[in-house]
């Protein structure tokens, strides 16, 4: 949607290559900053790794959560479920292409998630209140450091 503040504080990632001139990079940076964006510059590989973790993995998790829950509990679903699964409603064919085009990084991010989920599962299985609290507190601390939109 067109809004005057559409890019205010929005992250914009520039991925210059060895053939990108300093002037071109500066022009692109200035353009996005003039629209209020937070401009970050990184390699294409770093970009792919980061978006796998903060965009693609959440889509995978949301989709599998919807499948795991199924339809029976939906009448009880509240805002937490709706917020967590919102992205699962995106265009499936587009997301299949996105996931396959960044396959290597997606698989690495899924493995990282699997490791974290295994640790959480283990703490619950062992009734390890201290370990579980530590995991949840660590996650809450990281989440609190999320930049404001």
Residue 6 in this model has a pLDDT that exceeds 70 = yes
23-31: Cβ within 8 A, 24+ apart: none
59 and 131 belong to one structural domain: yes
d(CA 142, CA 86): 21
Give the position of tokens 């009880």. 76
Looking at the domain assignment, is residue 5 inside a domain?
Answer: no
Residue 149 in this model has a pLDDT that exceeds 80 = no
97 and 52 belong to one structural domain: yes
d(CA 54, CA 46): 12
- The total number of structural domains that make up the chain: 2
27 and 92 belong to one structural domain: no
Task: Print the domain residue range for 30.
Answer: 11-41
pLDDT at position 4 is 86
The pLDDT confidence band at residue 147, using thresholds 50, 70 and 90, is confident
Looking at the domain assignment, is residue 1 inside a domain?
Answer: no
Residue 71 in this model has a pLDDT that exceeds 80 = yes
Looking at the domain assignment, is residue 129 inside a domain?
Answer: yes
Looking at the domain assignment, is residue 2 inside a domain?
Answer: no
On whether the CB atoms of residues 15 and 43 are closer than 8 A, the answer is: yes
107 and 136 belong to one structural domain: yes
55 and 94 belong to one structural domain: yes
pLDDT at position 73 is 96
27 and 53 belong to one structural domain: no
16 and 72 belong to one structural domain: no
pLDDT tens digits, one per residue of 11-45: 999 999 999 999 999 999 999 999 999 999 999 99
71 and 122 belong to one structural domain: yes
pLDDT at position 1 is 67
């Amino acid at each position: 949607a067109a809004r005057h503040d559409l890019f205010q504080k929005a992250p914009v990632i520039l991925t210059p290559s060895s053939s990108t001139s300093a002037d071109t990079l500066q022009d692109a940076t200035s353009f996005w900053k003039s629209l209020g964006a937070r401009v970050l510059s990184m390699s294409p590989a770093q970009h792919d790794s980061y978006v796998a973790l903060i965009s693609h993995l959440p889509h995978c998790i949301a989709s599998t959560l919807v499948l795991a829950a199924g339809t029976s509990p939906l009448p009880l679903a509240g805002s937490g479920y709706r917020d967590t699964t919102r992205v699962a409603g995106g265009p499936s064919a587009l997301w299949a292409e996105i996931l396959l085009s960044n396959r290597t990084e997606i698989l690495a991010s899924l493995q990282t998630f699997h490791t974290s989920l295994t640790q959480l599962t283990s703490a619950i299985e062992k009734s390890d209140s201290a370990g579980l609290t530590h995991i949840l507190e660590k996650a809450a601390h990281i989440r609190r450091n999320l930049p404001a939109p």
